[in-house]
Amino acid sequence: MYEQIENQVKSAKKVVFVTGAGISQESGIPTFRGKDGLWRNYDAMKLATIDAFYDNPKLVWEWYNERRQNIFNSEPNLGHKAIAELENFVKVFVLTQNIDGLHQKAGSSNVLELHGSIVKIKCTVCDFKDELLTEFSNLPPLCKCGNILRPDVVWFGEGLPQDVWQEAIIQASSCDVMIIAGTSLVVSPANTLPIYAKQNNAVLIEINPDETIMSSDMDLSIRSTSAVALPELISIFKKQ
Ligand code: NAD
């Protein structure tokens, strides 16, 4: 299966990963799309918005409290670990849409969190930001300034942190291989990163059990889960 990309992969100097919710599915963290995306009959896609938050901050915080507990109790799977191990062989950057911190927990050192982190909270009004691993008892939690605190994540319709996004473009535009794992590639602007890589003539490899809207642009599509496919794919780099 790997013959057509093996030589280019072996000579790569920089490998960039673009990851999404699917890479953490085998760690027990649900994705947003599909039946997994339902929480107490609410649609996760509709809860992860600024409008939902201001309509009902208590409800959105209840959802985040449950997600926070699940994520804090989760461990990286073989897919996250394979990416971390690849650093022993080649320069690696991980551009992730995930907010779960599992790439860092697996040992990856160059992780750009495009959509923020569920561990972090910030005030909706003042400059207060913090990292917090404990649960809130009163919801929604309040800042010392009296206003509501929110998770420091990027909701649908919000802009990405510009410094992180600019760095992601630089890494995508200068890689030799881009491996896109566990993302439907429907969320913008993260779904433009493969285009930056293609402009640099990078090899594009997708790992996803299902077809995506960019499958026809890939040099190779591996129809498997990331915990199965990533350790196999990474073994090519070890063969040099
Ligand atoms: P998505 O839910 O749109 O798509 C998930 C993709 O992963 C699908 O294409 C699916 O076919 C694929 N998939 C499912 N199981 C897989 C597996 N085991 N291995 C490989 N692929 C698998 O996810 P998205 O593209 O990341 O976009 C959704 C948004 O939701 C992002 O902004 C992300 O921040 C957020 N989100 C994050 C987490 C997390 O941090 N773990 C969880 C849910 C949602």
Which residues share a beta bridge with 9? Answer: none
Q: Is the pLDDT of residue 239 over 90?
A: no
Rounded to an integer, what distance in angstroms lies between the CA atom of residue 138 and that of residue 10?
53
Q: Where in the chain is the domain with CATH 3.40.50.1220?
A: 1-28+76-115+160-240
Probe residue for ligand 1, chosen from 32, 70, 115 as the CB with the greatest number of ligand atoms within 8 Å:
32
What is the atom index within ligand 1 of the atom nearest the CA of 71?
41
Q: Looking at domain 30-73+117-153, what is its CATH homologous superfamily?
A: SIR2/SIRT2 'Small Domain' (3.30.1600.10)
Q: With a 6 A CB cut-off, is 64 part of the ligand 1 pocket?
A: no
- In the CATH hierarchy, which top-level class contains the domain 1-28+76-115+160-240? alpha beta
Decide which of 1 and 120 is more confident.
120
Which of 23, 183, 232 to probe ligand 1 with, by most ligand atoms within 8 A of CB?
183
Query: Any bridge partners for residue 129, and if so which?
Result: 122
Asked if pLDDT for residue 184 goes beyond 80, the answer is yes
Nearest C-alpha to atom 15 of ligand 1 is from which residue?
Answer: 22
DSSP class of 239: T
pLDDT, position 90: 95
Length of the chain: 240
Packed helices 3-10 and 226-238: angle between N→C axes, nearest 10 degrees: 60
Catalytic: 80? no
Residue 63 reports pLDDT greater than 80: yes
pLDDT at 203 over 70: yes
- CA of residue 32 to ligand 1 center, whole Å: 6
8 Å CB contact between 20 and 226: no
Asked which of 35-39, 73-77, 78-82, 220-224 is least confident by mean pLDDT, the reply is 35-39
pLDDT at 240: 63
Spell out a b/e string for 58-81, using b for 16 or more CB atoms within 10 Å of the CB, else e.
Answer: ebbbbbbbebbeebeebebbbbbb
Specify whether the CB–CB gap between 24 and 98 falls below 8 A. yes
- Residue 149 makes CB contacts below 8 A (sequence gap 6+) with 121, 122, 123, 124, 128, 140, 141, 142, 143
CATH 3.30.1600.10 domain residues, the chain:
30-73+117-153
pLDDT category of residue 34 using cuts at 50, 70 and 90: confident
Ligand 1 centroid – CA 39 distance (Å)? 16
What is the Å distance from ligand 1's center to 236 Cα? 25
Rg (CA), the chain: 18
State residue 61's pLDDT score.
96
User: Percent of the chain at pLDDT above 70?
Assistant: 100
For the segment 117-139, what is each residue's pLDDT rounded down to a tens digit? 999 999 999 999 999 888 888 99
Helix/strand/coil for 156: strand
pLDDT, residue 62, reads 95
Please give the share of the chain, as a percent, with pLDDT higher than 90.
Answer: 85
